[in-house]
């Protein structure tokens, strides 16, 4: 099931080894990167605009503002729990570019429904669209990680994964910021969000048309439509490869760690740092830039190989700067409510931002090598 650490993925073509930014000029990577970027941006623009709408603009008796973010987040994650294993089977069975285009067509249909719901201010329909967008992302996830080792060789795999992770967090950041700004436009905010979601969905589908063909790795696979038994089978399969299984656990822990920070930025900014919503947005920017920087550094530090030695370095860095963040945020003087300017004027707050940026940077160093290692060491027929 596994192969030697230094071996090239058997289905990756033997291209010359460019740096990770040069991949953005190559057809085997660039259309895929921008398709993924547009999808992640659309997910977050839609979710954040909807969250702001039900938190600040609408009065929905059965969905209290304090619960809106939690409910929307849970609905988006639910399809991952239910259908990830089935999505992996579909990706292994069918040609990957065909799967990508199907998913982007699905996104256009979902966003058309969401656009109507934004204009009609229909909260139940928008909640349904959140679940459907989670399903869209669930279908795309296995394709994303199975496509890369088919088109990148071993020396490009870390850089390619670093670019994708950097792009994902930049897209998350831009989606949240743009969604929050658009939905707040007086009078036309909901219509503007509807248009933006449709434009991103159409742009993602247009770019997906240029992704080169990526053949199926197991076309004879029989699909098991029972998500529970298939999830259990996948876990048993992964457990048979110690390297893959431990990397899966490590990545899952990193996403849990990151989700704790991302979900608590508003409360942390308000209750601990005494800042307004712009301060919370600044924390998201700092965190996203840190993750992106760490992801891009992986290729340089690993000398263009899959280097698992970066993982303990990343874990130590995350721990050290998380602990220092705790001490840096203790005992800050009370304040009626910092604006962005007054927040940045306080020297103590720069230590908080430095801790957050470095914590995120080391999270990038921690996760990217494990993504690459899973792709390198998994059997091609079961990679997705």
What pLDDT was estimated at residue 1?
A: 39
In a domain, 14, yes or no: no
> pTM for this structure?
0.77
Domain of residue 45 covers: 22-215+228-382
Alpha-carbon span 292 to 244, nearest angstrom:
24
In this prediction, residue 6 carries a pLDDT of 42
Assess if residue 74 is contained within a domain: yes
d(CA 54, CA 49): 9
149 is written with which tokens?
A: 């080792």
- Asked, for residue 157, whether it belongs to a domain, the answer is yes
Residue 372 belongs to some domain of the structure = yes
Number of independent structural domains in the chain: 1
339: CATH: 1.20.1250.20
Q: Is 361 helix (H, G, I), strand (E, B) or coil?
A: helix
- Does 338 fall in a domain? yes
Is 223 among the domain residues?
Answer: no
164 CB contacts (<8 Å, ≥6 apart)? 33, 36, 144, 148
**Domain-embedded: residue 292:** yes
| Residue 9 included in any domain | no
List the chain residues with pLDDT less than 70: 1-19, 59-61, 65-66, 263, 266-267, 277, 303-307, 335-336, 379-384
Which pLDDT belongs to residue 245? 80
- 350-379 pLDDT, tens digit per residue, is 888 899 899 989 888 888 787 777 777 776
């Amino acid at each position: 099931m596994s192969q030697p650490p230094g071996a090239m993925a058997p289905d990756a073509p033997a291209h010359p080894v460019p740096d990770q930014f040069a991949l953005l000029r190559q057809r085997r990577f660039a259309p895929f990167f921008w398709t993924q970027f547009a999808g992640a941006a659309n997910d977050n623009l839609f979710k954040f605009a909807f969250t702001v709408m039900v938190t600040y603009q609408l009065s929905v008796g059965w969905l209290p503002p304090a619960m809106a973010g939690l409910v929307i987040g849970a609905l988006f994650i639910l399809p991952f729990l239910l259908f990830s294993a089935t999505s992996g089977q579909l990706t292994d069975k069918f040609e990957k570019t065909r799967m990508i285009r199907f998913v982007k067509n699905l996104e256009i249909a979902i966003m058309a429904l969401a656009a109507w719901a934004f204009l009609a201010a229909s909260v139940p329909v928008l909640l349904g669209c959140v679940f459907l967008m989670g399903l869209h992302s669930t279908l795309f996830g296995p394709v994303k990680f199975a496509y890369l080792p088919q088109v990148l060789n071993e020396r490009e795999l870390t850089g390619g994964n670093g670019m994708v992770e950097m792009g994902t967090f930049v897209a998350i950041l831009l989606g949240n910021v743009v969604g929050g700004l658009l939905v707040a436009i007086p009078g036309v905010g909901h219509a503007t969000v509807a248009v933006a979601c449709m434009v991103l969905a159409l742009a993602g589908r247009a770019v997906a048309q240029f992704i080169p063909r990526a053949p199926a790795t197991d076309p004879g696979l029989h699909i098991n439509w029972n998500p529970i038994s298939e999830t259990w089978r996948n876990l048993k399969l992964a457990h048979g490869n110690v390297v893959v299984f431990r990397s899966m656990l490590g990545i899952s822990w990193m996403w849990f760690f990151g989700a704790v920070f991302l979900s608590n930025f508003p409360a942390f900014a308000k209750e601990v740092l005494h800042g307004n919503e712009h301060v919370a947005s600044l924390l998201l920017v700092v965190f996203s830039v840190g993750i992106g920087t760490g992801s891009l550094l992986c290729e340089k530090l690993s000398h263009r190989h899959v280097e698992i030695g970066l993982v303990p370095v990343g874990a130590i860095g995350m721990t050290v700067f998380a602990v220092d963040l705790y001490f840096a945020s203790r005992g800050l003087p009370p304040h009626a409510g910092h604006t962005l300017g007054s927040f940045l004027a306080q020297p103590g707050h720069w230590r908080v931002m430095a801790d957050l940026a470095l914590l995120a940077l080391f999270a990038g160093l921690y996760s990217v090598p494990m993504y690459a290692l899973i792709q390198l060491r998994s059997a091609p027929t079961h990679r997705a």
